[in-house]
Structure 1
Amino acid sequence: MSDPTVRRTTIPGLLVVDLPIHGDARGWFKENWQRAKMTGLGLPDFGPVQHSVAHNGRAGVTRGIHAEPWDKFVSIVHGKAFGAWVDLREGPTFGTVHTEELDERTAVFVPRGVGNSYQTLVEDTVYSYLVNDHWSPDAAYTMLNLADDTVAIPWPIPLADAEISEKDKTHPTLAHVTPVAPPRTLVLGAGGQLGQVLIDTLPGAVGLSRDELDLADPAAVEAFDFTGVDVVVNAAAYTAVDAAETEEGRRSAWAANANGVTALARAAVVHGFTLVHYSSDYVFDGTQDSYVEDDPLCAASVYGASKAAGDLAVTVAPRHYLIRTSWVVGQGKNFVSTMADLAERGVDPRVVDDQVGRLTFTTDLAAATSHLLATGAPYGTYDVTSTGDPTSWADLARKVFELTGHDPDRVAPVTTQEYTAGATGPVAPRPARSVLDLTKIQETGFAPVDQMTGLTAYLEGRTKP
């Protein structure tokens, strides 16, 4: 059996699919929707949830130009029709037109916000629609007049002779159409050091604070209105690694990092949005030289175990990017800013030298997120850190002292055991090696920053307290 082929059009995202038909004396057969083949050819894995079939008995029946709030896969079960599509989305292609004659061998993927209309060319034409949201009488449509002179659709059967509903005759002209706004991108944890950078990096992103959506409350996640949301970026997490070893902290860590993330992954399945979630080097025990994305999870701490549980939940979402990172540095309090502050105040710190890894700057992490979303990279797990030789915390502290004009020998290297001796509270086990392999993200075309280059730039741009 031959495979379908896909043709692009002048309207971004509007794809025409040529379907092979196989027949004999008994009739014919076709694969109307074949997920593996069609997504492999570039169709979105749009997750249809409803299949509808419509029949028109007469030739000339013409449906109004409607831009629905969902993606749509339209094909002909029997007959022949003329299709016309108009881009009604905000942007430079607003008003762009594509027309195509459809029969049993042709299907079209129509992205949300693109107006679509069909005119039957023969009697007894039957349409098939796959959509990725349930039809509702309350759904808001953007509509365009069939006879609009601006788009000038060349209807094979003149509209004066066509069968058109009275409602469709009264739709506005293009000059009076309000363009369809792009689907929303939500950033959870917007107040954190990563969340702030994500909002600045992702076009049109809307940040949500914990007061607006508390990830630790699965019921709040389930009740949240995700209508019109295409991407949810979860930068919220419980990150108090040592406090997570306490009874209260353990509950909080699992609530935010596992239970809440599971609810978010479930919402991604139900509502069909892309889920971006950030993982941690703590999901590994740090006994290997380096880790790749599909290494078995083996956390040694409560925090790491809660993050690992969240990771597993995220993979259930069909459209997900799980970004695993380590040693994150952004604006606000972090290891680098603390070392720079100590250097300037004349404090000589003791820093562990038996934990090895690489820094990750929030600007780089946000850029990698934007890259994956913008390029449509395959969904899955990606390691994202800086490049360069892995270093210990003590070596990084020395470099911070050096770059800020202070004597690096003021940093005293100690072992983790020496550093934690005499601690008054619980101390979580740390991975001895937090080196993540970057091959997979680099193969998508993204080039992470070298950590020493990034460290220099960070210190030069740091706002001193």
Structure 2
Amino acid sequence: MTEFAKTLSVSTTPIPGLIVLDLPVHGDSRGWFKENWQREKMTAPGVDLPDFGPVQNNISFNDAVGTTRGIHAEPWDKYVSVATGRIFGAWVDLREGDTFGALYTTELDPSKAIFVPRGVGNSYQTLEADTAYTYLVNDHWSPQASYTFLNLADETVAVDWPIPLNRVEISEKDKNHPRLGGVVPMPPKKILVTGANGQLGRALREEFGEDPWIEYAGRADLDLTSDDLDGARHWRDYRAIVNAAAYTKVDVAETSDGRAQAWAANVTAVAALARIATRNGITLVHVSSDYVFDGTNPRGYSEDDALRPLGVYGQTKAAGDAIVSTVPAHYIVRTSWVIGDGGNFVRTMASLAERGIDPKVVDDQVGRLTFTAELARGIRHLLDTDAPFGVYNLTGSGEPMSWAQIARRVYELTGHDPQRVQGVTTEEYFSAASAPVSPRPRNSVLDLSALAGTGFTPRPHEADLEAYLAESD
């Protein structure tokens, strides 16, 4: 019999993410009423049901006691309840991982519901006639959807069905599903890395590797400005997008053509990804820049400091930040002075040293280097640990340096006299420039406290510089 007057509460199970809900049901002589799904209450602190974004509601009506439906793991999340009657439910974890094969069983009546995460096998047996089994899902059914199945009679999982399976009617398909040893586990949702052929994209490929749940897309594989971007992938198959695609030519961005290209890549494309992420419940990782600040702050910039970009590039990155901040699940990763495996400041200085050239280098801009390997490692940390969504500064750690100090350190580490590097002001350095020059923030130091709070400690940028040069020899 349905239990009345319970308060809304949840309990966990041995299967990660499988959550049982006790629902308040209000009844009298006329019948009963319940809020079967109430988003605001059920996603509130203390209940903490995932805000899974249901898009379809299905009802399975069962005439007879003992109706038994097979253990099916589907590629979407599912919220299961009973409108009338009562069921014995059995759930088996069929996802890759340590809990593969874990079993949970319970009875459901109209006063209970259960949240079933993607990849957990779902099955039931009716305990009363005229049972209406209802479920919300967060993707539309498709004949192309990939399921994982387990046989109802599997001896390893050994579900203790209230009514023996030889006394109930089971479909031929369910009778022929594999035992646990023959089940191909459901893989996790995918991570898409855009801009995969750039310096950061290549570092992300090195960090994540070639697992089948990682997908890499360069510009030729995925046009982020295409009108058909919504249909370019089945986006519900992805849990995260790491956008490593960006326009970074800060000086060219001050020209007419460069301005248009910078806004297209850093704003229009980002807006398209933000729309897709929001619609499909995807975590969007957006890489930002110290150029969103004007550099006048005497201390390191925190994530909450007001944005005051000086040039076109900084303006486009600030606009991208504002757009991504509207995505429910987002990480905005602000970084500075990025060094990767292509042409960059460190390689240029090492080359000048080797060729006997004594350069003039700016000494009134201060910051920390960020090597792409470290940036990729930090991004993976945020995703792997399910860190709180929001903005994080991510650079190398250690004492800030000017560009001239870094250049001298490069000379020293490559066996050359660091005094050959002459420090000059920004104005002096660009005084003879014939093309437009973007204004630079003088202080690019980013405070790393928020990132440290997630358990990630960036490596010292000087140590990474030394290792980078040693690997380049």
TM-score (norm. length: structure 2):
0.91
Matches for 1:122-141 after TM superposition, within 5 Å: 122-141=128-147
Cα separation, partners in 2 of 1:116 and 1:439, compared to 1, 3 Å: same
Two-structure CA RMSD over aligned residues (Å): 2.3
- The alpha carbon displacement at 1:352 in A equals 0.7
Distance (whole Å) between structure 1 residues aligned to residue 142 and residue 307 of structure 2: 42
- Where do 5+ consecutive residues of structure 2 fail to align? none
Cα separation, partners in 2 of 1:35 and 1:258, compared to 1, 3 Å: same
Distance (whole Å) between structure 1 residues aligned to residue 68 and residue 350 of structure 2: 69
Cα separation, partners in 2 of 1:39 and 1:438, compared to 1, 3 Å: farther
Aligned to 2:438, which of 414, 428, 431?
428
Aligned to 2:230, which of 214, 219, 222?
222
Distance (whole Å) between structure 2 residues aligned to residue 2 and residue 347 of structure 1: 79
Distance (whole Å) between structure 2 residues aligned to residue 373 and residue 2 of structure 1: 37
Matches for 1:288-299 after TM superposition, within 5 Å: 288-289=297-298, 290-299=300-309
Q: Tell me what 1:117 maps to.
A: 123
Q: C-alpha deviations, 1:170-229, integer Å up to 9, x for none?
A: 3333333322222221111111221112122226222111110133x2325333113422
Matches for 1:243-392 after TM superposition, within 5 Å: 243-289=252-298, 290-392=300-402
- Indicate whether 1:200 and 2:206 are aligned: yes
Q: Which moved more, 1:232-241 or 1:83-92?
A: 83-92
- Indicate whether 1:146 and 2:155 are aligned: no
* SS of equivalent to 2:43: helix
Distance (whole Å) between structure 2 residues aligned to residue 350 and residue 10 of structure 1: 63
* SS of equivalent to 2:361: strand
Q: Do 1:4 and 1:38's aligned partners in 2 also have CA atoms closer than 8 Å?
A: no
- The alpha carbon displacement at 1:420 in A equals 0.4
Q: Tell me what 2:250 maps to.
A: 241
Q: Tell me what 2:87 maps to.
A: 81
Q: Do 2:39 and 2:51's aligned partners in 1 also have CA atoms closer than 8 Å?
A: no
Paired residues in the alignment total 462
Percent identity of paired positions between Structure 1 and Structure 2? 57
Q: Do 1:384 and 1:438's aligned partners in 2 also have CA atoms closer than 8 Å?
A: yes
Aligned to 2:17, which of 3, 13, 16?
13
Distance (whole Å) between structure 1 residues aligned to residue 208 and residue 166 of structure 2: 47
Distance (whole Å) between structure 2 residues aligned to residue 37 and residue 292 of structure 1: 33
Distance (whole Å) between structure 2 residues aligned to residue 2 and residue 285 of structure 1: 56
Distance (whole Å) between structure 1 residues aligned to residue 257 and residue 369 of structure 2: 30
Q: In the alignment, residue 332 of structure 2 is paired with which amino acid? A: L
Distance (whole Å) between structure 2 residues aligned to residue 50 and residue 298 of structure 1: 44
Cα separation, partners in 2 of 1:393 and 1:3, compared to 1, 3 Å: farther
Cα separation, partners in 2 of 1:5 and 1:239, compared to 1, 3 Å: same
TM-score (norm. length: structure 1):
0.92
* SS of equivalent to 1:308: helix
- The alpha carbon displacement at 1:148 in A equals 2.1
* SS of equivalent to 1:446: coil
Q: In the alignment, residue 462 of structure 2 is paired with which amino acid? A: M
- The alpha carbon displacement at 1:30 in A equals 4.8
- Where do 5+ consecutive residues of structure 1 fail to align? none
Q: Do 1:57 and 1:124's aligned partners in 2 also have CA atoms closer than 8 Å?
A: yes
Q: Which moved more, 1:169-178 or 1:366-375?
A: 169-178
Q: In the alignment, residue 218 of structure 1 is paired with which amino acid? A: S
Distance (whole Å) between structure 1 residues aligned to residue 234 and residue 362 of structure 2: 44
